[in-house]
Amino acid sequence: MADEEAPKIIIDEDWKSKVEREKEETQETGEQEEPAAEEAAQAQQDSPFVGLVSYFASNAMGAMGMFAPKDAEEVPVNLELAQFIINALMTLREKTQGNLTPEETGLLNNLIGDLQQSFVVCSQAVQESALRNAGAPTPNIQTP
């Protein structure tokens, strides 16, 4: 057994230098892009359009009961108002098409999509609650 050599561990030193080089390049690139990203974020925050869209979105979320305290027994939900606001945002998207910056367009599209998903979940929860309160058996709804 003494004749057998212990397995040799080969360490490739080249990969360490490659990783260090890539890390430095990333830091240099990141430092150059940060001012541009900060300017874009500041411009987006200062945009009256972003404020308007955020106002509508927060009202829609409130109408769906998303701002209720955790210890609340009942959460007021107004699906009609939420649907109206989502439709208003969709109309706003349609009417401002081609006149928005890419960031504003992306924000509007993402908000509408998120609100629509939340609306579906909220309306299902309201329907299940209504069925439970009516004494009817709750349907077995499976979500993907």
**pLDDT tens-place string over residues 39-75:** 556 655 678 999 999 999 999 999 999 988 888 888 8
Composition of the chain by helix, strand, coil, percent to 5: 70, 0, 30
Q: What's residue 134's pLDDT?
A: 79
On whether both 42 and 54 belong to a single domain, the answer is no
In which domain, by residue range, is 61 found? Answer: 48-144
As for how many domains the chain has, the answer is 2
Which has more pLDDT, 56 or 37? 56
Q: What's residue 45's pLDDT?
A: 63
On whether both 61 and 118 belong to a single domain, the answer is yes
Q: What is the largest CA-CA distance in the chain?
A: 84
Orientation angle between helical segments 48-63 and 79-95, nearest 10 degrees: 160
Q: Report whether pLDDT(14) > 70.
A: no
- Report the predicted TM-score, pTM, of the whole model to 2 decimal places: 0.63
On whether both 42 and 102 belong to a single domain, the answer is no
On whether both 97 and 134 belong to a single domain, the answer is yes
H/E stretch holding 106: helix 102-134
